[in-house]
Structures are given as C-alpha cells and as structure tokens.
C-alpha cells in the first residue's frame, strides 16, 4: 500500500521506517496502560538504532563502490573489533584480547578465506562483507561463551585442578574436563541453529534473498551453506580459543594463574 504513495526507494524506506516506529510506539502505549513506562527507553533506542543503521548503510554504500581488496581490510578490522568486544566476556583471563583475536581470526578468517577461494562466498563486497560479518559475529559470540565458561569452571574447580597438578599432571590434562565442557557449551547455539533451520526460523540471508527475488530453492540451499559455515567458523574459533587459554592459564612453572581472589600474574 505504501508503494502507491511513495515511488522512490528513499521515500519508501523512510515511510516504512515511520510505520514500524509507529507500531513500536503503539506497544509502548499499550504497556503504559498497564503502568509499564518504556517511553524514554524506546525513544532513545529507536533514535540510536536508526542513526546507527543509517550510518552503516552510508558506509556500506561507499564501500560497495570500492575496489574488492578493501573487503579484506574491512574484515580484518571487524576481526580486531570482535577481539576487543569478546575480551570483555573474558574479564580477568590472561591475554584475553590476544586469545580472542587469534581465535576469531583462525576460526572465522580461515573459513572466509577458504570458502572465498572455493567460490562459495563471492568476492564482490556486497557478498563478502555481509557473509563475512555474520561468520565473525558468530565466532565472536562463541569465543565469548568459551572463555566465560572456562573461567567460571576453572574458578569453581581450582582444588581439583591443583590436586591434579600436585599429582604430576600436565597443565592441559589438569584443565581438560573444563576446556571440553566450555567447547561443548559454546557450540550449543550454533548446533541449535543448524538443527532448527527452516523449522523454527528462516534466517536473514534467506529472507533477504527472497525479498530481492532469488529462487526460493537456491535461497534455502544458500542459507544452509551460511549456517554450516557459521558452525565451522564457531567450532574452529572455540577449538583455538580453548587451546590458547589452556596455555595462558598457567605460568611456565605450571602454576595455575586463574584462581579466586588472586590477582592475575
């Protein structure tokens, strides 16, 4: 109906944004009738979200006209940003930024590189950046979950770990149950995404491809491809992350450094 009144894509987009913002405001009014006040939160969130996404859209608009090699640079910057964000989930862990960045670079970076070389991901920036960012974002979440779980488990089982060390176990052996548990736990979202694909949710890539007129069959296949790549990138990230944190959790003299109430040395 809106396209009867707004012909240009920009006007149509603004009109669609206005309609959805209005729908959100109706929800706020309904909440207000039950004495739940979301007005200021929603106003700020709507404004912030709109500004952020328009800014990203503008940057993408410029990048889409840039040469293909800039895609690699942008992805590298995204990996660094992901390492910084992921570090926050691993507060207190030694070398959290280095571990996060290496793990995401190895996990997401290698999948992007191999799949681009194989032709699964198109080298055009319009394909490389959205798909690459999805892999990096998921690898970042997985890395955060891995490190967070590892830290919590190690702190909860310091006695068991130091008992194993005192019996002559290698550091990696002493934390093996906890690195395995953190690896498994971190992959639950990726596994559930694969398992529920098409039944519980039709994810963004497929929705976008359908909206832009692609064949539903190809859109479905490609969505599977993306989710499978996300799983691979997440799994690799978690593997690298657990390997690296195992090393950094101990001093060269094989003493545990992640301990409750003890400053990281």
Q: Virtual CA dihedral for 235, 102, 76, 210, nearest 10 degrees? A: 10
Out of 17, 21, 28, 169, the residue judged to bind other proteins by CB under 8 A = 169
With respect to other proteins, which residue has the nearer C-beta, 196 or 251?
Answer: 251
Torsion sign, CA atoms 112, 114, 120, 126 = positive
Binding of other proteins at residue 181 (CB under 8 A)?
A: no
Out of 14, 19, 47, 170, the residue judged to bind other proteins by CB under 8 A = 170
Per-residue interface string for the shown chain with other proteins, residues 226-265, x marking contact by CB under 8 A: -------------------------x-xxxx-----xx--
With respect to other proteins, which residue has the nearer C-beta, 127 or 163?
Answer: 163
- The helix/strand/coil state of 214 is coil
Question: What is the nearest approach in angstroms of other proteins to the Cβ of residue 262?
Answer: 7
Q: Virtual CA dihedral for 243, 248, 251, 255, nearest 10 degrees? A: -70
Q: Virtual CA dihedral for 246, 134, 21, 16, nearest 10 degrees? A: 180
Provide the token pair at 117: 């070389």
Binding of other proteins at residue 166 (CB under 8 A)?
A: yes
With respect to other proteins, which residue has the nearer C-beta, 14 or 264?
Answer: 264
Stretch that binds other proteins, among 17-25, 99-107, 169-177, 240-248 (CB under 8 A): 169-177
Binding of other proteins at residue 168 (CB under 8 A)?
A: yes
Instruction: Show the DSSP H helices in the chain as ranges.
Output: 2-5, 9-32, 39-63, 69-89, 96-104, 110-118, 125-156, 158-166, 171-186, 188-196, 204-211, 216-248
Query: Using CB under 8 A as the criterion, which residues of the chain lie in contact with other proteins when the complex forms?
Result: 159-160, 162-170, 173, 251, 253-256, 262-263
């Amino acid at each position: 109906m809106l396209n009867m009144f707004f012909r240009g894509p920009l006007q149509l987009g603004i009109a669609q944004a206005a309609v959805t913002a209005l729908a959100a405001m109706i929800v706020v009014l309904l909440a207000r009738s039950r004495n739940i006040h979301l007005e200021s939160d929603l106003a700020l969130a709507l404004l912030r979200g709109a500004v952020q996404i328009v800014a990203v859209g503008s940057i993408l608009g410029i990048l889409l006209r840039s040469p293909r090699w800039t895609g690699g640079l942008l992805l590298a910057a995204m990996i660094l940003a992901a390492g910084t964000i992921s570090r926050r989930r691993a507060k207190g862990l030694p070398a959290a930024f280095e571990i996060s960045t290496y793990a995401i670079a190895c996990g997401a970076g290698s999948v992007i590189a191999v799949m681009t070389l194989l032709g699964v991901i198109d080298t055009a920036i319009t394909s490389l950046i959205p798909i690459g960012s999805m892999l990096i974002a998921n690898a970042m979440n997985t890395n955060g979950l891995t490190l967070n779980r590892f830290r919590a488990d190690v702190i909860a089982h310091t006695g068991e770990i130091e008992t194993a060390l005192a019996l002559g176990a290698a550091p990696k052996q002493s934390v093996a149950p906890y690195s395995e548990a953190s690896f498994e736990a971190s992959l639950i979202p990726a596994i559930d995404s694969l398992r529920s694909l098409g039944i519980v949710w039709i994810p963004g890539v497929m929705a976008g491809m359908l909206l832009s007129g692609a064949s539903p069959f190809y859109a479905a296949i490609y969505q599977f491809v993306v989710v499978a790549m996300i799983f691979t990138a997440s799994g690799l990230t978690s593997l690298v992350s657990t390997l690296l944190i195992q090393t950094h959790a101990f001093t060269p003299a094989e003493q545990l450094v992640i301990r409750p109430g003890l400053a990281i040395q």
